[in-house]
Amino acid sequence: MAANAEPIAALDMFSGPVGPLLWRLALPIYASTLFWVAYTLTDIYWISRIDPDDPAIVGGVSLIIPVYMLAFALSNGLLIGVKSLVARAIGAGNEPLLNRVASAGLALAAIASAVFIVVGYAWSGEITLMLGAVGDMHEPAHTFLLYILPATALQFAFNVLSGIAQGEGQMKPVMHAMGLGIGLNLVLGPILILLLDFGVAGAALATCIAQAVSLLYLARIFFSGAMQVPLHVNVLRARPEAMKKILEVGLPQGLAEILVAFYLVAINRIVVSIDPTAMTAFGLCARVDQLLLLSISAISSAILTAAAQNAARGNLVRVRELQRAAIRGGLALVLAQAALLVAFAPWIYGLLSDAEAVIGYAVSQTRIVNPAYLFAVPTLIYHAVFLAVGHPWPAITIQFLKMFVVTLPLVLLLNRYFDFGMYGLWSGIVAGEVAAAIMGRAWNAAYHARLQRGELAVAGA
């Protein structure tokens, strides 16, 4: 390990109180999520100022969110696969594998980026229509797609480096890189969107530039020798066995998040069929609700690192302690945030839109759906623990059942036969969160018992 790297032992990864450990791991990632929420809200605000009387602009851009989420899904699969492998390799003391992780991860990132860019540009028109961007929403949606694609490609390499850093337990470099990029995006957004009159293309260009700067900053940290895992940028050095180990966790996670993207496409099409104005409100809520969802993700990110390192050492009792502490902390955080969002929803959405119908939909959704995110806390913590021990499929299965067996069928039932409109959609989302929490708790308890009895083993690093 480099002399200026933060020793893993200094984080009390394998002993000591679990609360401070999780706090120190989660806080930088949580700070990054706050930066991200500030950016997304500011970005959508400036986009809405292009023509305050035309909600189709915000609606069209919102329809492209699943494309960005698809790229995020694939790249986040790489991040999780790399992160879990690095953490388990550190816990097991496997130095040879640590030396091969970076080249293997970057090789996979290069392949995924190339495929994504080629497909995105070759079929941009078809993709835009498939996402439901018709009428006045088509032009802003298609333009935004064309200009956002380079940012999605840069995300792959960034997430590989981020996964390595997080697997080591070094969250601050990731926070600094994201903060730098988001800060730059906040400055460039209004300049490119309004001052230079680039419109929605300006919003996408600002994101591309910011993503490139974030990647360069994080790469510089690696080259300075501040990380335990060396950065080998020559992808030709990638070993198939290391790539395979990354994909054992990363591929199922990536596939699960791809399913989320398709799920959102289906949900978006249902919302548009109910009321195009509701799509604008739904897009605004998706951005504001990141304050809740990304804070949960920060806690699950912390427990993935800590649980993986401890599980690889056979310290399953500490894994259980970490899980319980993460659920308690996550519930307190989400409860406080949900209460604030519910209380201030009219004011928040009044700032983001001038249309009374849009504000009405957004406020109602916040009051109905946001309290249900309390159930998402244990679900995502259980998800992280499954990934930490190298057994991703229970987590993926629960996610699939939530979206495609509970939520979507219920939404279709309530709208096709009972004409509940957006209330039917919101009810389906709430039911899915409750069902996932129940399934996750039962499956997690059974899995932990089998690990303790030796019937299952932590996947090797």
Q: What is the pLDDT of residues 132-147, one digit of tens each?
A: 777 778 888 888 888 8
Of 55, 36, 59, 157, the C-alpha closest to 105 is: 157
Residues 157, 158, 159, 162: is their CA dihedral positive or negative? positive
Of 394, 379, 383, 382, the C-alpha closest to 456 is: 394
With cut-offs at 50, 70 and 90, classify the pLDDT of residue 461.
low
Alpha helices in 191-289 (DSSP H): 200-223, 240-274, 276-288
Residue 369: the pLDDT is 92
* Whether the Cβ atoms of residue 147 and residue 208 lie closer than 8 Å to each other: yes
* Whether the Cβ atoms of residue 304 and residue 281 lie closer than 8 Å to each other: no
The neighbour count for residue 436, using CB atoms within 10 Å, is 24
Residue 11: the pLDDT is 53
Residue 206 confidence (pLDDT) above 80: yes
* 77-89 average pLDDT score: 89
With cut-offs at 50, 70 and 90, classify the pLDDT of residue 264.
confident
With cut-offs at 50, 70 and 90, classify the pLDDT of residue 382.
very high
* 259-279 average pLDDT score: 84
With cut-offs at 50, 70 and 90, classify the pLDDT of residue 48.
confident
pTM of the model: 0.77
Residue 10: the pLDDT is 43
The gap from C-alpha 166 to its chain's centroid, in whole angstroms, comes to 14
Q: Residue 300: which residues within 8 A CB-CB, separation 6 or more? A: 326, 330, 380, 381, 383, 384
Could you write out the DSSP letters of every residue in 207-224? HHHHHHHHHHHHHHHHHT
Q: What is the mean pLDDT of the chain?
A: 84
C-alpha Rg value of the chain to the nearest Å: 21
* 102-125 average pLDDT score: 88
Residue 196 confidence (pLDDT) above 70: yes
With cut-offs at 50, 70 and 90, classify the pLDDT of residue 442.
very high
* 171-194 average pLDDT score: 86
Cα–Cα distance for residue pair 129/256, rounded to 1 Å: 24
Q: How many residues are present in the chain?
A: 461
Least confident among 69-73, 78-82, 334-338: 69-73
Could you write out the DSSP letters of every residue in 31-96? HHHHHHHHHHHHHHHHHHTS-TT-THHHHHHHHTHHHHHHHHHHHHHHHHHHHHHHHHHHHHT-HH
Of 266, 250, 88, 224, the C-alpha closest to 160 is: 250
Q: Residue 7: which residues within 8 A CB-CB, separation 6 or more? A: 1
With cut-offs at 50, 70 and 90, classify the pLDDT of residue 9.
very low
Residue 62 confidence (pLDDT) above 80: no
Residue 6 confidence (pLDDT) above 50: no
What percent of the residues of the chain are helix, what percent strand, and what percent coil, each to the nearest 5?
85, 0, 15
Residue 372 confidence (pLDDT) above 60: yes
Residue 340: the pLDDT is 92
Q: What is the pLDDT of residues 395-435, one digit of tens each?
A: 999 999 999 999 999 999 998 888 888 899 999 999 999 99
Residue 143: the pLDDT is 85
The gap from C-alpha 43 to its chain's centroid, in whole angstroms, comes to 18
Residue 313 falls in which region: left (phi positive, over 0), alpha (psi -120 to 50) or beta: alpha
* 197-203 average pLDDT score: 85
* 335-360 average pLDDT score: 88
Cα–Cα distance for residue pair 441/430, rounded to 1 Å: 17
Q: State residue 417 phi and psi, 5-degree precision.
A: -105, -20
With cut-offs at 50, 70 and 90, classify the pLDDT of residue 240.
confident
Residue 419: the pLDDT is 83
Residue 285: the pLDDT is 86
